Amino acid sequence: MMNTIHFLGRFHPLLLHLPIGFVLLAFVMELWRRWRRREGWEKPIRFALFLSMLSAIVAAALGYCLSLEGGYEAALLGRHQWAGFAAAALAVAAWRLRSNQRWAFPILTLNVVVITLAGHFGGMLTHGKQYLLEYAPAGISRILGSESRETLPAVGKLDSAVVYSAFIHPILERKCAGCHNPDKAKGRLLLQEAATLMKGGEHGSPIQPGKPWESLLVSRIILPETTEGHMPPQGLPQVSSEELALLQWWIAAGADTAVTASQVEIPEAILAILETKVNNAWRILARQATPPSARTLRMLQQAGIPVGPIAQESPLVEARLSYDTALTTQKLRMLRKIAPQLVSLDLSHTNAAGDMLDVLSSLPNLIELNLSHTAASDASLHSLRKARHLESLNLYGTAVTDAGLEQLKALPGLKKLYTWQSQATPAGIEALQRARPELEIWNGWERDTTFRQVQLKAPVISAEKELFEDSVAVALELNFGQVDIRYTLDGSEPDSSSLSYSGPIVLTKTTRLRTRAYKELWTPSEIADKQFVRVRYRPQAVALAKAPDERYSGRRGRVLYDFKKGTERFSDGEWAGWQGENVQATFDLGRVVPVSSVTVGALEDTGAWIFFPRGIAVWGSTDGKGWQPATTAGYPETEKQYSARTRNFTESFSPIEARYVKVEVKGQLHNPAWHPNPGGPSWVFLDEILVE
């Protein structure tokens, strides 16, 4: 009986929006009728009221069934239930008393208020009390008496930081506490405090110190998103690969809630992640800023100001005006429109000088400023007195003297200063160094260091798809002026003599495209790399020697030939995973055809114990009995921690005639020695095995 009640209760989230919609529809139609004094609206309003009554009664009944599952904070649940029952009663009254001129509209108005409160209380039950205001600006949160959960952890110095409170608790708070808090204790598990975390819930403690893969916390996170039991539930913000790596490392290190970073061994890969969590200007401003509007960015770009976000989904922006010798004061003043978000400005090799640089005083959030080879002077530096976040200042080849350096002592955040070929004397530089011993001052020609702040970004490889049947057009994009983009199509490393990009590249065969950006006096960009695979044959079926892990079955192996690339999330349902073993798949092409290459699509996420293949072997057969070796290849072991990434491994060979193609993918099998959990059974994740 209770199972039936619970089953019916699960329909409450499906239907709860119907009464809200119908009540609001009736209310809006009634307002419109009264304002415009229109006739003929009575029947539609009555019909909307009837539907709101019916759906409100059903939603309230199903909500009661759902509440019997438990796991909800009693007081808040009570408010939600009574508001829901009241909304249903008012819906009945609004329909029954529609003809009463005195009470019809007041009852309908009251129902709008009550059903809104019921919805708000329900949202608090399912998402936590802070859900509505979680990302609200600080001013709005203060007015409403709430504090956003997106506050910076108090991490000033890494060594003294308590690992749990500084790095682990924020992950649980952001990604887990919405369902495991005093208001909604799913599974009777509370994750807001260390004590309740270690105590656990109805399934025991989610933490097994020293055993991350046996810990329920980790095992639930790594389940495919579409699997029941995956946490956080599908549709909510998911745990990133870096966050998962931190959780696994902390549990493997003993899950001590009081240990500091200096008291525990930190692998290099984990250290790199932790250092990004320490408070700095970039993080502070990113939390405070709101992204500039697309209209504003477009207007600046049309005015000849190359501007864009510093990283994907970041609200902070950078402007690169280098080598623009026709700058005007009016053009620079346009930067004020993005002053709250502008953190990086490059004016090198421009005609910026004198009063033009006064605009710097209205850009208080600059973190990086490049004035090299401009007419910047001591007077120009006076405009930086408000730049309390400024960390890097390039004065190479300017007229700045010792008097200008004296002004820089007042910049609290300055970390790097470049003064080569300026008018500053060795004595002036030495005096500044004594006053600011932590400041790195570069006063000589060391290209790898002096210009490391101005390395070009890698071009973005843009195409409609990576798997194609006939041809695909590929564009190389870089939001930066006068840049020379070079590329190769044979997998070799591009240099300044490689093919020069001038427009979309049309590919008609499997190709590994690599590209790099060049610009005079700039450090070349990193190499961007992407492989495009031509799909020539579509297998009729695939036979696996060993089935993938049931948690990552990839629709029983069909993801290996469905021609849909998986994302960088191993739990997205588009990957098949095997743990601690090699993979052997035999493809039936349906007929004998010439075969000359095989491409294996793989995922690597070292924090989740997932590694690229160590080798591939291919055989062909016309009858599925006698097998002809086609090729074998080996790949080096991954030598350090990487965030999630994908890669296509293509092996070409002399053409063979085959209907059946057998592919063996050799996995890493065990985590390498450098891994936070060396020797543990590693995974190999595959999405596509393509035959050409």
Go through 11-33 and write b for each residue having 16 or more CB atoms within 10 A of its CB, e for each that does not.
bbeeebebbbebbbbbbebbeeb
Say what the pLDDT of residue 136 is: 55
Say what the pLDDT of residue 41 is: 78
Is residue 451's pLDDT more than 70? no
Alpha helices in 176-293 (DSSP H): 194-199, 216-221, 241-252, 268-275, 281-288
Please enumerate in sequence order all residues whose Cβ is within 8 A of that of 459, keeping only pairs 6 or more positions apart, or say none. 476, 477, 478, 485, 501, 515, 516, 517, 525, 528
- Strand residues in 293-334 grouped as ranges (E): 307-309, 317-320
Q: Which element (helix H / strand E) includes 550?
A: none
**Total number of residues shown for the chain:** 692
Amino acid at 60: A
Q: pLDDT tens digits, residue range 599-651?
A: 999 999 887 889 999 999 999 999 988 999 999 999 999 988 777 888 889 89
Torsion of CA 433, 437, 443, 449, to 10 degrees: -170
Is residue 656's pLDDT more than 60? yes
Q: pLDDT tens digits, residue range 513-539?
A: 999 999 877 888 999 988 888 888 888
C-alpha 412/C-alpha 280 separation (Å) is: 12
Q: Is the peptide bond before 232 cis (omega within 30 degrees of 0)?
A: yes
C-alpha 461/C-alpha 512 separation (Å) is: 11
C-alpha 597/C-alpha 583 separation (Å) is: 18
Model confidence at 99, pLDDT cuts 50, 70, 90, reads confident
Q: pLDDT tens digits, residue range 128-146?
A: 666 665 555 545 554 444 4
Question: How is residue 546 written in tokens?
Answer: 């060993």
DSSP 493: P
C-alpha 687/C-alpha 574 separation (Å) is: 6
Q: What percent of the chain has pLDDT over 70?
A: 89
DSSP 106: H
All domains in the chain, ordered by first residue:
2-127 (1.20.120), 163-278 (no CATH), 310-452 (3.80.10.10), 455-534 (2.60.40.10), 541-691 (2.60.120.1190)
Model confidence at 554, pLDDT cuts 50, 70, 90, reads confident
Number of helices and strands in the chain (H, E): 20, 24
C-alpha 164/C-alpha 178 separation (Å) is: 19
Q: pLDDT tens digits, residue range 258-289?
A: 888 888 888 877 887 887 777 667 777 777 78
Q: Lowest-confidence range among 10-19, 154-163, 235-244, 377-386?
A: 154-163
Is residue 494's pLDDT more than 90? yes
Question: How is residue 578 written in tokens?
Answer: 């095997």
Say what the pLDDT of residue 176 is: 83
Say what the pLDDT of residue 581 is: 92
Q: Which of 297-311, 449-463, 655-669 has the highest mean pLDDT?
A: 655-669
Q: pLDDT tens digits, residue range 48-80?
A: 889 989 998 999 898 888 877 665 666 777 888
Say what the pLDDT of residue 450 is: 39
Model confidence at 151, pLDDT cuts 50, 70, 90, reads very low
Say what the pLDDT of residue 487 is: 95
pTM: 0.48
| Residue (of 400, 360, 406) closest to 384 by Cα position | 360
Say what the pLDDT of residue 223 is: 75
Q: Are 66 and 12 in contact (CB under 8 A)?
A: yes
